[in-house]
Structure 1
Amino acid sequence: MSLKSLLALACLILSQGTILLSYLIALQYDHPKVEACNPFFQGCLNITDAGIYSPEGYVFRGGMIAACAFFIMWWAVSFKEIKFYTATRLNHIASSLGIIGAILLIIATAVLIPPREAINWDVHVSAAILFFLVTFLAQALHLKICLRKKVKRHLSKLSLKIKWVAVLVQAIMIIIGLSLKHFDTGDEIVNAIEWWLALLIGVYFYSGYYDWKRSR
């Protein structure tokens, strides 16, 4: 296993591990809007509510900002790998968007300092929504590059399948989520979609594990 494959694995484990650990800690305290459920299917709370208060807030902010650093490293590694196989402007665009997405998540996370009333929710919500949209676009463009013959032949078939599923499901969920937001309904569904999108983004990063296993 190479350091690059460990990086891909860390992107998934650190991001999802931080979210789930923060939620489990939050359940031990009587914090507002924190309920016990399966958030992926019941949507009883959004990710933000699982990581605002103390002590889980320290885990959430530290873990997510660290995960974003790994996301940025992933995009840098991917850029160099693809550049070795083919020269395309899309590689620059996808990598730049991916890094911008990670920075947006850092901003969205950094403002989550309690008390709840003092949080700049406009900045948080805007940055969080843009993170999901920009990262989806970056991963979709990255997938398009990966499907080119010069690149595809160097990638794992399993990796390509994972990328396809992650991007396709993200697209469907984003359309549903934005539609529900527009009509100001389905809060629980939107919450569940947020949990799934965070997971799928991490899964896309994880797909690089299979491509980079033997890479130096």
Structure 2
Amino acid sequence: MPSTPVRLSPLAWATALLPLATMHVCYLLSASEQLVPWCLPWFEGCTSISRASRSGTAYFVFKAGMLPACVCMMLFWWANRHWLRHMRVEPKIWWWLGMLAPLPLALYTVVLGHEGDTPYLLRRIGVVGFFGLTFLAQLGLSVSLRHSPMSAAGNLLLRLCGFTLLVGIASLILGVIWPEHYDTMDDGFEWALAVLINLHTLRVAWLWQRSGFAVNVSSVS
């Protein structure tokens, strides 16, 4: 008896919304518990995602939200491979980078809240690894879509990747020319990059839903 294809747009929505919701809920919890100041962290940089999530109630919420999100991310990039194949576009190695990206994020999530030089180093590796690998995977997906029936969507996503890259470069430049104020700005850039990364996934989720993307799980490899 043939199995019914499974629509995967809920997976993409979860991949985008779960990290966004988790980090913002953690900030609200920490601010309400007076562990961090009240502000608009994306613009004011009053606190980092780490500081807003490493103590109090947020410590448990962050781990409970981000570890399942890592699993969603791995499945999301696995599914992107099959989405492109449905449109007769052969994906390159970028989808493997996307599947690897949640591993440093999981490392970051596990060690967050622990003090010392080693946990700090592991957190930095986790942040840089996650953002770097995810950006490369998103760039690869955007370029691949330009060669598909969804070329217009690919162009839009490619422009979003370009803007994300400009934000990252601006962060590096300001760190060199204005180091005395960079700690505050760095926190704001961290929030902005996290939001931009998830905006890309939100757009892909909408494309999956609009196209009715589904897979027969028993037949994919």
TM > 0.5 fold call: yes
**Which has more radius of gyration?**
2
Superposition deviation, residue 60 in structure 1: 0.6
Aligned partners of 1:113 and 1:40: how far apart in 2? 22
Using structure 1 for the length normalisation, give the TM-score.
0.86
- Deviating more after overlay: 64-73 vs 13-22: 64-73
Change in 2 beyond 3 A, CA 1:44/1:162: farther
Q: Residue 161 of structure 2 aligns to which amino acid in structure 1? A: V
Aligned partners of 1:145 and 1:30: how far apart in 2? 46
Equivalent positions of 1:1-216 (< 5 A) are 3-31=7-35, 34-86=36-88, 88=90, 91-114=91-114, 116-117=115-116, 120-148=119-147, 151=148, 153=149, 155=150, 157=152, 159-160=153-154, 162-182=156-176, 184-185=179-180, 186-213=182-209, 214-216=212-214
Aligned partners of 2:194 and 2:50: how far apart in 1? 12
Task: Give the secondary structure class of the aligned counterpart of 1:125.
Answer: helix
Superposition deviation, residue 93 in structure 1: 1.3
Q: Residue 5 of structure 1 aligns to which amino acid in structure 2? A: S
Aligned partners of 2:155 and 2:196: how far apart in 1? 13
- Deviating more after overlay: 5-14 vs 38-47: 5-14
Change in 2 beyond 3 A, CA 1:84/1:70: same
For structure 1, the residue ranges without an aligned partner over 5 or more in a row are none
Aligned partners of 2:89 and 2:16: how far apart in 1? 28
**Could you say what the CA RMSD is over the residues aligned between the two structures, in angstroms?**
2.1
Superposition deviation, residue 49 in structure 1: 0.7
Runs of 4+ in 1 over 6 A off after TM superposition: none
Q: Residue 165 of structure 2 aligns to which amino acid in structure 1? A: A
Percent identical pairs in the alignment equals 24
For structure 2, the residue ranges without an aligned partner over 5 or more in a row are 1-5, 215-221
Using structure 2 for the length normalisation, give the TM-score.
0.84
Quick check: 1:64–1:109 contact (8 Å CA) kept in 2? yes
Superposition deviation, residue 135 in structure 1: 1.0
Q: Residue 210 of structure 1 aligns to which amino acid in structure 2? A: W
Task: Kindly tell me the number of residue pairs found equivalent between the two proteins.
Answer: 205
Q: Residue 211 of structure 1 aligns to which amino acid in structure 2? A: L
Quick check: 1:97–1:137 contact (8 Å CA) kept in 2? yes
